[in-house]
Chains A and B, each alone.
Chain A
Amino acid sequence: MLSYILKRLAIAIPTLLLLIIISFVLMHSAPGGPFTAERELPPQVLANLNEKYGLSDPLWMQVGNYVWGIVTAFDFGPSFVYKDRTVNEIIAQGFPITLTYGLLSFAIAVLVGVSLGVAAATRHNSPLDYAAVGVSIGAQVLPNFVMAPILVLIFTLWLRWLPGGGWQGPEYWIMPVIALSTSFMASIARITRSSMLEVLTSNHIRTARAKGLPERKVILRHALKPAMLPVISYLGPAFVAMITGSVVVDIYFSTGGIGKAFVDSALNRDYAVMMGVTILVGALTIFFNLVVDILYGWIDPKIRY
């Protein structure tokens, strides 16, 4: 197990480096720099600015310095637009918010999705089953950017129950979490249902029933664990998609997470912040995939490392 984790880490580090290098090169080969503005700067000022931010060094040296700063001091450098703020500060401001609604959405998507899927599978072809399938098919075409305006229309404009945006207390969390979790909940419910149906016909379930175990125990103890395998392999991509979705949530609900930092920096050409967020998201993705792989190995003893 340990050697497996180490092996996965050995892949993770070059991946992260590759991501850093790709985004760095992309950004520096693009036409127009961070100081390209409506009003041309005098050449001397521009040269001084480039000197200060290290933009006049050769590219390999810039990449090297950047990576060195991250590895040794976890320092993503200064922002190119906000002169008095570092990338670390900007990310530290938004990240807890993203983490709060992200984790809540994730937990709700998994809990509700799995329960719905199990309920549908154990009552196969009942009205509940059809309802669950119907809901999950419907929710598949309701990604976050579709859910967000619909929710605002219903709960803010028509019913006037919830605030339309901001981040001041738990009532501000409700709509972002629903918008972010709906389509994932639907997919998880669908996957759980079909894999549960398959597991329920297998031999070890027949054995468990034959020896007289109560149905609840059969489902929770013996069927749920193997049925979770396809769900777990879906969690990796779902996590990435959810982080991506935080961009929409941040913009539409003005929640102020890192998605907002990313889009703002993209529009301002604040290279440093863009790279910081991209690398952070990449690192999270890699870490999460590692967790998913380990979970997978823990549940399925057939997997050899």
Chain B
Amino acid sequence: MAMTSEQAVEATALAGKGRSPWADARRRFFRNKAAMVGLAILAFVALFAVFGDFLSQWSNEELDYNVMGQIAQEGGPSIENGHYFGTDDLGRDLFARTVQGTQISLAVGLVGALIACVVGTLYGAVAGYVGGRTDNIMMRIVDIFMAIPYMFVLILLLVMYGRSITILFAGVGLISWMEMARIVRGQTLTIKGREFVEAARATGVSAPVIILRHIVPNLLGVIAVYATLLVPLMILTESFISFLGLGVQEPLTSLGALISEGAGTIAYGTTWQLGFPLLFFCLTLFGLFFVGDGLRDALDPKDR
């Protein structure tokens, strides 16, 4: 049976040097249909967030006096007056606001996940590497933190210190480093006993350098997977808080805040005000969940 040229190339490559685990994972990821659909959706949402501003004919703050006061009749989506998604109840262009909301939601998701990753990874790696009593105490502290109703504490923080976007970013990130710390600690325990760590220790490398140079890089796969799954959770958290009116402040907006506004005005028949932000919210989450699941299937060492 003749091999196709592609198979032949693959076979020689295999015989030549073998596949690295990363190449393996990449192949599995790109074969996963759901993950590819997710990636396409995500690319669309990202393009919308980045280039949407250039398409819109209105800024997100401008009031359109032609539709003001009769939003339910005049404010619907239309190509003629440039409000592709219609306007909100004040006559602001919903397309521009959805673009901005998507930007902010994505930013909160990414920054929150980044904070959670950095804090969780360092905490977990230190606990796992040092081990013994320190590990025990550090993980008990994580247990205790996990039992705290964080959403309530975050709302407290936002009310107490004012609704600044910095607190929102930091707070959303600090809510979820604990799960990350647990996962990283578990992985560190298995890596810690390997020869290369022992060799590093024998040559007198200090503990912080071992953790940062030898342990953390070997955990990157696991961290990447959980980071992708964290982003949608961060977006959900931010949207939840914005829905309550405690999130980002005007004129800034986020998808959660837009959904909240849309939800507040549906009684007047302005369904587009709920529909478009909701569509982008769902698309973003869908994309992220699919890509995250795909990455996990491709990279999770448990599956091998």
Contacts and interface: CB of A to CB of B under 8 A. Distances in A.
A224 interface: no
A84 B260 CA distance: 34
Interface stretch (B23-31, B96-104, B218-226, B262-270): B262-270
Contact of B274 (A15, A30, A149): A149
Nearest to B140: A11
Nearest to A281: B149
A149 B160 contact: no
Dominant secondary structure at the A interface: helix
Given A30-B161, A141-B281, A146-B281, A15 B149 contact: no
A165 to B, nearest CB: 11
Given A240-B149, A247-B244, A278-B156, A145 B144 contact: no
A22 B148 contact: yes
Interface stretch (A59-67, A68-76, A215-223, A282-290): A282-290
Interface in A53-110: none
Contacts of B148: 15, 18-19, 22, 282, 285
A248 interface: yes
A269 B149 CA distance: 19
A254 interface: no
A262 interface: yes
Given A149-B262, A248-B240, A266-B159, A157 B267 contact: yes
Interface stretch (B51-59, B207-215, B282-290): B282-290
Interface in A235-292: 240, 243-244, 247-248, 251-252, 262-263, 266-267, 269, 274, 277-278, 281-282, 285-286, 289
Given A26-B156, A145-B260, A277-B152, A11 B274 contact: no
Contact of B240 (A145, A252, A266, A278): A145
Interface string B244-262: 1010000000001001101
A153 interface: yes
Contact of A153 (B236, B239, B244, B274): B274
Given A31-B161, A263-B244, A266-B159, A146 B289 contact: no
Query: Dominant SS at the B interface?
Result: helix
B236 A143 contact: yes
Given A30-B161, A153-B274, A262-B152, A285 B147 contact: yes
Nearest to B266: A153
A122 interface: no
A14 B147 contact: no
Interface of B: 140, 143-144, 147-149, 151-153, 155-157, 159-161, 236, 239-240, 243-244, 246, 256, 259-260, 262-263, 266-267, 271, 274, 278, 281-282, 285-286, 289
6 contacts: A141-B289, A145-B263, A149-B263, A153-B274, A277-B152, A289-B147
| Across the A-B interface, the 6 shortest Cβ-Cβ residue pairs | A149-B263, A30-B160, A141-B285, A145-B243, A244-B151, A266-B159
